[in-house]
Amino acid sequence: SLSVGIKIKKEVANAFVKRQKRSTLYSEYYKNPMEQMHERCENYPPCDYLSDQIGFSMAYNRFFG
């Protein structure tokens, strides 16, 4: 019966991950351009670091502008 419990947990986890991916795609599609720019900078460590030093807009423009 232990393997049955593990199988159920795995199925629940897989369903949860699929739901997470779907909602992420959905929210990505509806994000405004400013949010997308902030995420692009945050996901690029040199830009993220520089934005703490000189501000987001100057850092973003330096790397992506």
pTM: 0.53
Tell me if 54 is assigned to some domain: yes
- Between residues 2 and 43, the one the model is more confident about: 43
> What sign does the dihedral 48-50-53-55 (CA atoms) show?
negative
Instruction: Examine the pLDDT at 29 and tell me if it is beyond 70.
Output: no
Q: How far apart, in Å, do the first and last CA atoms of the chain sit?
A: 58
Distance CA 64, CA 48 (A): 12
pLDDT of 31 reads: 75
Q: What domain count does the chain have?
A: 1
Tell me if 9 is assigned to some domain: no
User: What mean pLDDT, rounded, does the chain reach?
Assistant: 80
* Structural domain boundaries enclosing 52: 32-64
Distance CA 17, CA 26 (A): 14
- Give residue-wise pLDDT tens across range 13-23: 666 666 666 66
pLDDT of 62 reads: 97
